[in-house]
Structure 1
Amino acid sequence: MIRELIVVEGRDDTVAIKRAVEADTIETGGSALNEMTFRKIALAQERRGVIIFTDPDFAGERIRKAIAARVPGCKHAFITRDKATANGDIGVENASPEHIREALSRVKSEMGAFQGTVLSWTDLIEAGLTTHPGSADRRMRLGELLGIGYCNAKQFLKRCTAFQISREEFEDALTHLYREIEQAKHKEEQ
């Protein structure tokens, strides 16, 4: 049983979570968060802890940000769009139990002051994660490898800091990404 309550968007997400793990959920009812929902989430955070597990789309990110701003200290689970898409519909409810368990095993916590080496905008440019052709695809895969989900370059840098991604973790994931790219190029050449 997962100790924390998992915040999801709707009833179908709850069903998908319960197929994958034994856990309690709080449903936001979509993006129309109300004061009662925020109070429930705050109480859950105080008593058991909270994992925010919203859809990997614009609305899901908006909900995630709103909750994190109002209820500090929440943990975050991310699932990639490809693992949460079925018949053109994107949502946690479409993910397999295996993919949900994988996302929950890689939960990230926002922490206070970061003691490690903070990544910079220059690091993202040099890594080809912004201002380069294909940077969105590289950022998507790197976000998956780091377990922080997909986002634009500015949010990627913020998440790396908020979730205390060390320079070593970043460089290891980047090395893995470049290896995948080289392998794909090698296959195309054959």
Structure 2
Amino acid sequence: MIVVEGKDDTVAIRRAVGADTIETGGSAVGEDVLRRIELAQERRGVIIFTDPDAPGERIRKIVAERVPGAKHAFLTKDEARSKTGLGVEHASDEAIRRALEAVRTPDQANGPEAEGEIEWSDLLEAGLIVHADAARRRERMGELIGIGYANGKQFHKRCNMFRITKAEFAQALEQMEREGLQRT
């Protein structure tokens, strides 16, 4: 089951992959919706697939905290943008399929706060925090490693939750530098 924000997202998902969805009805996720998502996780498994914006991230966080083990699919802002808006409903069928093929699973055995390979100092050295261009750098790094955009603290948490390796991190950092996103 794919958790989306609204009816237009459901239409886009069904058009691209023909999957079942649960709609949160926006960022005010109700208790009844959370119970349905919990049941879906128990019976079938859940993929959280929200818009790459602040309300979408808020919904992702609410659902992930309530439904441990839910998987995550991410679109970049460019993939989710059209002339009329930003969201899953604006993404191409190909972008939706790519995001679902690259779904990420959190590290359940060690919990969301587990120590991982990526340390806070790695984010600092990479210019992903305390840097004039940190937000743009985190956005691009999130695209490259497939964990979406987040603020510094959440980005660090996601790196560890999704077990991003130092090698993956370094490869993405090299790509960013080839693209001209320098650390200094």
Give the TM-score of the pair, scaled to structure 1: 0.88
What is the match of residue 160 of structure 1?
159
Residue in structure 2 matching 1:40, options 36, 39, 51: 36
Deviations 1:83-135 (A, max 9, x none): 11123521110111111111111111111228985212211111111112222
Unaligned runs of 5+ in 1: 183-190
Q: Counterpart in 1 of 2:143?
A: 144
Q: Give CA deviations for 1:131-180 in whole Å, capped at 9, x if unaligned.
A: 12222111111100100001111111010011111111111111122122
| RMSD, aligned CA | 1.6
**Could you tell me how far apart the structure 2 residues matched to 1:134 and 1:69 are?**
29
Whole-angstrom CA distance in 2 between matches of 1:141 and 1:31: 25
Higher Cα Rg: structure 1 or 2? 1
**TM norm structure 2:** 0.91
Structure 2 residues not aligned, in runs of 5+: none
Asked whether the 8 Å contact 1:80–1:144 carries over to 2, the reply is yes
1:71 aligns with 2:70: no
Query: Are the equivalent residues in 1 in contact too, given 2:117–2:160 (CA < 8 A)?
Result: yes
- In the TM superposition, structure 1's runs of 4+ consecutive aligned residues that sit over 3 Å from their partners are 114-117
**Please, which moves more after superposition, 131-140 or 153-162?**
131-140
Alignment deviations for residues 8-67 of structure 1 (CA, whole Å, 9 cap, x no partner): 000000011111112111111111211211111011100110000011111111111111
| Matching of residue 17 in structure 1 with residue 10 in structure 2 | no
Instruction: Judge conservation of contact 1:79–1:100 (CA < 8 Å) in 2.
Output: yes
User: Counting helix residues as a fraction of each chain, which structure ranks higher?
Assistant: 1
Percent identity, aligned pairs only?
59
Secondary structure of residue in 1 paired with 2:79: helix
Kindly indicate whether the alpha-carbon contact (under 8 Å) linking 2:116 and 2:163 is maintained by their aligned counterparts in 1: no
* Partner amino acid, structure 2, of 1:113: N
Residues of 1 paired with 2:58 and 2:126: CA distance? 27
Equivalenced residues, count = 178
